Amino acid sequence: MTMSGKRFASRIEGIEISGIRRAFEAASADFINLGLGEPDFDTPEHIKTAAIQALKSGFTSYTFNKGIPELREAISDKLLRQNHLSVSPEEIIVTSGASEALHIAILSVVESGDEVLIPNPGFVSYSPLTRLADARPVGVPLNDSDDYTISIEALKERITARTKALIINSPANPTGAVEPETNIKAIAELASDHHLTIISDEVYEHLVYDGAKHISPARFYDGVITVNAVSKTYAMTGFRLGYVAANKEYIEQMLKVHQYIQACASSISQKAALAAITGPQDCVVEMRNEFKRRRDFLVSALRSMGIRFPVPKGAFYIFPEVNDEHDFVERLRRRRVIVTPGSAFGTRGSNHVRISYAANFDLLRQAIAIMSEII
Ligand SMILES: Cc1ncc(COP(=O)(O)O)c(C=O)c1O
C-alpha cells in the first residue's frame, strides 16, 4: 500500500494531548471526577435567559471581530471597577474563551527562537501554546515553601537576551496560589526593565479566600496583556467566552490573528456574557462561598491523613505531594475516583496530584473516604 499524503508539521507532532483530557476521558458517569477544571454549578438562570433571548431574536450572525460594543463597554467598566485598569472598549477583543485569548496573545508576541517564562507547575496550555508559536517555554520553578508563589530571584535568573514574554496566573491552576501585591509589583518592574510582555491569566480572579486579594499587573505596567473569561466566574465554560485587554499596539496585532482564526466569538455567548457581567453578582459570591466550604473540608481531611501541601488561597484546586503520583492516581481510579497527575502541569508537578473541588460536597466526602482507605 502506498503512503497517503499524511505528513504532519513537526510543530504539532511534538505536542501531546493534555493529561487532563485523558483523565476526563478515562471516567464514565459513575466515577467521582475530581480531575476537571470547571465549576459543577449550573449557569445562573438570568444568563441562560439572555442566551435564549439572543437566539429567539435572531441574534445569530457574525458580530464585529472585536465583539459587540455593549459587551466591550461592560468589560471596560468591569476592568475599571474591579481591577483598577483604565482600558477603553477599543482596547478589548472578545475571544472564544481564555484559551483563544492566550493563543492570540502568544502568537502575536513571540516568534522562532524566543523564550517565554512560564510557571512550573502551571496550567497545561502555556507550554504547548508557546511551542505552537515556534518559541521555547522556560519553566520558572515554584516551591511549596513559598506557597507556590513566584520567586523573583528564580524569575530573574531565567531571563536571557531571548526572553520575550512571561505568563503569570494568579490565582493559579494547579496550585491555588495567589500572588501578593508586592510580588505582582516586582514582576511588573522586572518585566519593564527587560522589555518583556506579561501575559496575565486572570480567569480565577474571583475565587480568592482568607482575605487574599487578586491584583492585576496591568495596574503597574503597560506591557501587559490581561487575559480573562466568564468561564469560571459564572460557570459558563461551554459558552466559550473570554477576552484580552491591552493597549492599542497589542490589540492591533492580536486582532489580525483573531480575525483569521476565529472571526468573532459566538454572538449568543456574547449576549450571555453581557448579562453575566452587568447582571446581579450574588451568584459569584454564592459560588465562592461554596468553594471555600469545600476547600476547608478538603484541607482538614487531607491534613489529617498526613498529606503535605500549602493551603491554597484561590481557584478550586489543591496540589498535594504524594509518594508516587501514578500509583496514587491508578489506585484511586480503580476505586472510581479521578484526580489529575501532577506531571501534567510540568516537571515540578511530578509526585503531586491536582484535586479539583469543583465537585459537590457529597462526592468530595465519598472521595475522601476512599482516599483514606488507600493511603
Ligand atoms: C489557568 C487557566 N487559564 C485558562 C483556562 C481556559 O479557560 P477557557 O475555558 O475560558 O478557555 C483555564 C481552564 O481550565 C485555566 O485553568
C-alpha 140 to ligand 1 mean position (Å): 20
Q: What is the mean pLDDT of residues 257-269?
A: 98
* pLDDT at residue 223, rounded to an integer: 98
C-alpha of 186 from chain center: 22
C-alpha 345 to ligand 1 mean position (Å): 13
Whether the full predicted model's pTM is greater than 0.85, yes or no, is: yes
Residue 38 CA: nearest ligand 1 atom is: 14
Q: What is the mean pLDDT of residues 292-319?
A: 96
Q: Choose the residue to mutate in 95, 102, 203, 269 for probing ligand 1, maximizing ligand atoms within 8 Å of C-beta.
A: 203
C-alpha 205 to ligand 1 mean position (Å): 12
Q: Identify which has the larger pLDDT, 68 or 12.
A: 68
Residues in contact with 318: Cβ distance below 8 Å, sequence separation at least 6, in sequence order: 176, 295, 298, 299, 302, 309, 312, 354, 355, 357
* pLDDT at residue 30, rounded to an integer: 86
Give the model confidence (pLDDT) of 43-58 as tens digits. Answer: 999 999 999 999 999 9
> Does the pLDDT value for residue 141 go beyond 90?
yes
Q: What is the mean pLDDT of residues 153-175?
A: 98
C-alpha 3 to ligand 1 mean position (Å): 38
Supply the DSSP symbol for 347: G
What confidence tier does 17 reach under pLDDT thresholds 50, 70, 90?
confident
141 — phi, psi (to 5°)? Answer: -65, 135
Amino acid identity at 355: I
Rg (CA), the chain: 20
CA atoms within 13 A on the CB side of 62: 7
The Cα 317–Cα 333 span in angstroms is: 18
**Binding-site residues, ligand 1, Cβ < 6 A:** 37, 97-99, 123, 169, 173, 201, 203, 229, 231, 237, 242
Residue 169 CA: nearest ligand 1 atom is: 1
* pLDDT at residue 23, rounded to an integer: 64
What confidence tier does 3 reach under pLDDT thresholds 50, 70, 90?
low
> Does the pLDDT value for residue 349 go beyond 80?
yes
* pLDDT at residue 63, rounded to an integer: 98
Mean pLDDT taken over the chain: 95
Amino acid identity at 202: E
In order of their start, the domains of the chain are 10-43+282-374 (3.90.1150.10), 45-278 (3.40.640.10)
C-alpha 98 to ligand 1 mean position (Å): 6
